[in-house]
Amino acid sequence: MESSTVIWSLISYFLIGLAYFAALAFALGMLGKLFGYLRTPMPWPEVTTPAPTTEGGAVLRVLGDVTLFPNLFKADKWLWVGAWLFHVGLAAILFRHLRYFTYPVPSLVLYMEPVALFFGYLFGAAALFLFWRRMALPRTLYISNIPDYIALALMGGIATTGILVSTWAKVYLVDVKAFVLGLLTFDPVMPPQHPLFVIHFTLVLLLLIYFPSSKLLHAGGILLSPSRNTPYQVQTPGKRHVNPWDKPLR
């Protein structure tokens, strides 16, 4: 047996093992965090006003936060531009990756194929801008810590290798899809023998493992911020906020 074959089969087993481990770690980690957030009550109505006075209004407020980042827009226009493009690019890329997971591929995913790379570059450019801003502004440099750089480095590495396997050293789509579908159907096959793809895939798995214990939790946490998702109903009859752990005074 050739030594390169041995190395590739070792890499394969490692990658397949890591994939299942990462999926499990991500799922359990996220469930644990989510359960922790949801079982914790809010002892008082914690609303930042002016606030909507109905549940529907509060839902709209959170939807607005998730899609348009209005608070960020108020706070810092350049940061808003960078952050919004970053997230739009990320969402488009994630959506486009459905072509590696699904069969048949949704037609919308295929329609966006001509502009797919544009979103890749957009995401990369926005990430670079945010990184530059973090380093260049004394205020953000002061508050940045190692986890901030870890998250940016992982994202940057994923974006770079992702763009490279789509342009400079193209990976064979059918191989990727066979590998991913194999993982998903618990019938793993060999990954494409393409070093850049292996790096790209490994970084994604590391990100998944890192996700539940990192600041990336803002992805779900934004829905659970009491100051934003609570309607102001202090004077609304029948809407008394009850604190479940409170005991009557002696």
Binder among 136, 139, 168, 186 for another protein (CB under 8 A): 139
Which ranges constitute the DSSP H helices of 2-75?
3-39, 55-68, 70-75
The residue range among 166-174, 182-190, 192-200, 217-225 that interacts with another protein, by the rule CB under 8 A, is 217-225
Q: Judged by CB under 8 A, does residue 222 bind another protein?
A: yes
Cβ 169 vs Cβ 196: under 8 Å:
yes
Q: Judged by CB under 8 A, does residue 226 bind another protein?
A: yes
For 28, 48, 126, 245, the CA distances from 40, given in Å and listed in that order, are 18, 19, 35, 10
CA distance 185 to 154: 27
Cβ 204 vs Cβ 158: under 8 Å:
yes
For 33, 36, 215, 247, the CA distances from 39, given in Å and listed in that order, are 10, 6, 20, 18
Q: Which of residues 30-89 bind another protein (CB under 8 A)?
A: 33, 36-37, 40-51, 65, 69, 71-72, 74-76, 79, 83
Binder among 107, 111, 136, 146 for another protein (CB under 8 A): 146
Residues at the interface with another protein (CB under 8 A):
33, 36-37, 40-51, 65, 69, 71-72, 74-76, 79, 83, 133-134, 137-140, 142-148, 150, 213, 215, 217-218, 221-222, 224-228, 232, 234-235, 237, 240-243, 245-246, 249
